[in-house]
């Protein structure tokens, strides 16, 4: 199949003049897998069409929000209806209560929730709250986890920073990260050692309960439970960053699924149905420290935006229907098994990590359970694989260290087409 990317190439040159790197978020760049990103014209269900008219099965799904696929009728209708009443008021609406009620009912650990505009804002604000609540400064995060681009969290981070090889960002003064401690994901012994030394100074442990930003890495049995126990023992808060996993792995999130109760939970992506959103919530006694009830300041002109609330409500309504998560997991499992078999037939060494509707195919032979094992993956092979898949109409994340996101719109036929493309792409990759 010979695809032409003439217009994308042209527009990329144009974009470079006005937008740093031609993209408004580094993860959209194709630096790790080719030259220029493709520019998107439209989406429908599981597919996207670029400005050259090429159609792809989309496994990025806007990096997670589109769990129903593109242009889901219920979401389109809800946004259109909301739009007709106005775009923003900077004053409360009933929609905010409806979404907050739904989120807190899905997450038993959340008595209250505050809406913000992005996942970055959610984690940044949750940390401020944790520091205010505990009266401590230090935080512990895990290498390869990404929690948005707030200064204190850009330390040994995953996602675009891992892809671009800059896991700790310049522009962040050392004085702003002296309170950030890092540990290896899945290494409870290391966490125990850190806490035995400085546990009394640690305000919070922040973690992705299933890591998605070094590729998909699941917690080993007992890891999250152990973190809950240690944080409790030392009076630190446990923050689950469920910006990816919230409403993706289960009604509620990974915490609900594992039966581990964090003190604060961060959300984003799915709860805004494809419009900008973030949220953080937890126990009432912590949340009521927030202004205007308490002294911890956090605000936002567009927070709780009616269009985002309407889209989020429509998505959650669809996700509340029976069988949704089983169906997502079944499709993704079929893709995971198919990819393993295709790689085996082609003689490619890969490790497929799959959790619910999230999946990463690492070009490495051994198991992947932390940053170190993830980075044994061969990024050159992934690049060749990515390009062959793109040529065959499959749009994968343009980085080895990101997740594939499936949606309810992905069909069995999409999976078959993807696996046929993968059979050829694995051969080209090795």
Cite the active site residues.
Answer: 146, 241, 269
The contact pattern for ligand PLP, residues 156-185, with x = CB under 6 A and - = no contact, is ---x--------------------------
Q: How far apart are CA 45 and CA 63, in angstroms?
A: 15
In the complex, least distance from residue 244 CB atom to ligand PLP, rounded to whole angstroms: 5
In the complex, least distance from residue 272 CB atom to ligand PLP, rounded to whole angstroms: 9
Subset of residues 88 to 117 that bind ligand PLP, contact rule: CB under 6 A: none
Closer Cβ to ligand PLP, 78 or 122, answer by number = 122
- 30, 36 Cβ separation under 8 angstroms: yes
Q: Select the span of 144-152, 180-188, 299-307, 334-342 touching ligand PLP (CB under 6 A).
A: 144-152
Structure tokens given for 370: 């932390």
Give yes or no for residue 8 binding ligand PLP (CB under 6 A): no
Q: How far apart are CA 269 and CA 117, in angstroms?
A: 10
Q: φ, ψ for residue 238 (rounded to 5)?
A: -105, 120
With a CB cutoff of 8 Å and minimum separation 6, the contacts of 206 are 123, 126, 127, 139, 140, 141, 145, 147, 153, 239, 241
In the complex, least distance from residue 184 CB atom to ligand PLP, rounded to whole angstroms: 17
The contact pattern for ligand PLP, residues 265-304, with x = CB under 6 A and - = no contact, is ---x---------x--------------------------
Give yes or no for residue 154 binding ligand PLP (CB under 6 A): no
- Of positions 241, 263, 370, 414, contacts ligand PLP by CB under 6 A: 241
The side-by-side arrangement of strands in the sheet containing 278-282 is 112-116, 278-282, 264-268, 237-241, 202-207, 138-142, 180-183
| Residue closest to ligand PLP when measured from CB atoms | 119
- Nearest by Cα to 180 from 212, 145, 209, 216: 145
- Of positions 213, 256, 310, 399, contacts ligand PLP by CB under 6 A: 213
Give yes or no for residue 146 binding ligand PLP (CB under 6 A): yes
The contact pattern for ligand PLP, residues 43-82, with x = CB under 6 A and - = no contact, is --------------------x-------------------
With a CB cutoff of 8 Å and minimum separation 6, the contacts of 30 are 36, 37, 38, 398
Residue 119, CA distances (Å) to 124, 243, 304, 406 in order: 8, 6, 13, 20
The alpha-carbon radius of gyration of the chain (Å, integer) is 21
Closer Cβ to ligand PLP, 58 or 241, answer by number = 241
Name the residues that contact ligand PLP, by CB under 6 A.
63, 118-120, 123, 146-148, 159, 208, 212-213, 241, 243-244, 268, 278
């Amino acid at each position: 199949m010979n695809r032409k990317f003439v217009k994308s190439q042209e527009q990329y040159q144009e974009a470079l003049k006005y937008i740093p790197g031609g993209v408004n978020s580094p993860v959209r760049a194709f630096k790790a897998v080719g030259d220029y990103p493709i520019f998107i014209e439209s989406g429908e269900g599981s597919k996207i069409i670029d400005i050259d008219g090429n159609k792809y099965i989309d496994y990025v799904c806007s990096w997670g929000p589109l769990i129903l696929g593109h242009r889901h009728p219920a979401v389109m209708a809800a946004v259109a209806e909301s739009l007709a009443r106005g775009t923003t008021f900077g004053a409360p609406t009933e929609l905010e209560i409806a979404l907050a009620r739904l989120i807190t009912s899905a997450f038993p650990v959340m008595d209250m929730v505050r809406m913000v505009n992005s996942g970055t804002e959610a984690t940044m604000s949750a940390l401020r709250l944790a520091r205010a609540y505990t009266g401590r400064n230090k935080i512990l995060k895990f290498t390869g986890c990404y929690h948005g681009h707030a200064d204190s969290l850009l330390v040994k981070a995953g996602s675009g920073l891992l892809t671009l090889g800059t896991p700790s960002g310049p522009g962040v003064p050392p004085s702003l990260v002296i309170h950030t401690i890092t540990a290896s994901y899945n290494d409870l012994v290391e966490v125990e050692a850190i806490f035995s030394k400085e546990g009394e100074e640690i305000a919070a442990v922040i973690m992705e309960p299933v890591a998605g930003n070094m590729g998909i890495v699941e917690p080993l049995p007992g890891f999250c439970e152990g973190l809950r126990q240690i944080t409790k023992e030392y009076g630190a808060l446990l923050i689950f960053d469920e910006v990816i996993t919230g409403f993706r792995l289960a009604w509620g999130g990974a915490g609900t699924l594992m039966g581990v109760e964090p003190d604060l939970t961060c959300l984003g992506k799915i709860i805004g149905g494809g419009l900008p959103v973030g949220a953080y919530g937890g126990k009432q006694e912590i949340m009521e420290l927030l202004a205007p009830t308490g002294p911890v300041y956090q605000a936002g002109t567009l927070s709780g935006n009616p269009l985002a609330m309407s889209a989020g409500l429509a998505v959650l309504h669809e996700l509340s229907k029976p069988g949704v998560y089983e169906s997502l997991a079944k499709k993704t499992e079929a893709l995971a098994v198919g990819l393993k078999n295709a790689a085996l037939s082609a003689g490619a060494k890969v490790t497929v990590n799959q959790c619910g509707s999230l999946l990463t195919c690492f070009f490495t032979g051994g198991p992947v359970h932390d940053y170190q094992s993830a980075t044994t993956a061969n990024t050159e092979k992934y690049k060749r694989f990515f390009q062959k898949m793109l040529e065959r109409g499959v749009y994968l994340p343009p980085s080895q260290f990101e997740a594939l996101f499936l949606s309810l719109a992905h069909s069995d036929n999409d999976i078959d087409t993807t696996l046929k493309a993968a059979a050829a792409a694995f051969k080209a990759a090795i």
